[in-house]
Structure 1
């Protein structure tokens, strides 16, 4: 971490390099702790810090529930403060599902319907959702739920065509063997020269 801020000639010092290694390790650990603490300040990333959110909102801490469900309960509690309206009910329901939520009022029947369409399914039981809605809705109104889970996946089809051919070769021995071919034998003509000298020269 500090290496890039130092002159290159200092990195030739073995003792300094070892000190930097230890320092970098400690600083990295501190940085991880700071990042972890920072994440506890936000509901959607908090883990061990959820209990402080729950204490602040007078919610019971139930460690048997997943982090995701506990976060949803906390968000629902925050969104459910104030006068109950159609928009509030929708917002509270959206705390528990990742999808489309619609609230349909049925004033003549003194009830309302919550239509929930999720594209990722429902990762846990929705008892916490039902309890959160019951807590904020007017006591004289009934509630109906229509849950729809639409999941998407890739399906691949493949086909293979297999064919085979069998060739049977029976033993066969030829009686005669004939070989045909052309043989070229190159020849050449040579020229010979001979000179004869008779001694002594001259005389009759």
Structure 2
């Protein structure tokens, strides 16, 4: 069905019999056809696989120099290759991203591959831009990984005297009975 036939189908029958209306439709049908073609051509430029004259814009956006003698197919392949080149995110890349937000680069990332998570350790004194740090971490980390941010004081302890560490486990409420102590076991460790 031609554009003229489509436009005529929208009108009531008594208008299509008028000579003036037939002439208006004859004049405007080619214009509407050109406008439709222009709209489809413009939307084709939004996608690399269908772009023609829009390839120049894509090359400018992706900073790819155009070489003389390239065909459109070759230019498209180069653009698609550039867009699909996403570098892998490693623990070093995450550390570098985190260190940008710290006063003194202290981030340390420890991965747990089988558990699909990682720890991001950093010094407590370094934290200043937490919102930006978390936003960046959410953007760069793979979607399937969970993470735990752990801020601590990374200082070495020097033991001069004898230190006793107590490792106590307490009973649950359901385990308490009259005469039992509250602690389940009380282990002491003496550090020299």
Instruction: Identify the structure with the greater helix proportion.
Output: 2
TM-score tier after normalising by the smaller chain length: 0.3 to 0.5
Normalising by structure 1, we get a TM-score of 0.39
Structure number, greater radius of gyration: 1
Q: Report which of the two has the higher share of strand.
A: 2
**TM-score normalised according to structure 2 size:** 0.42
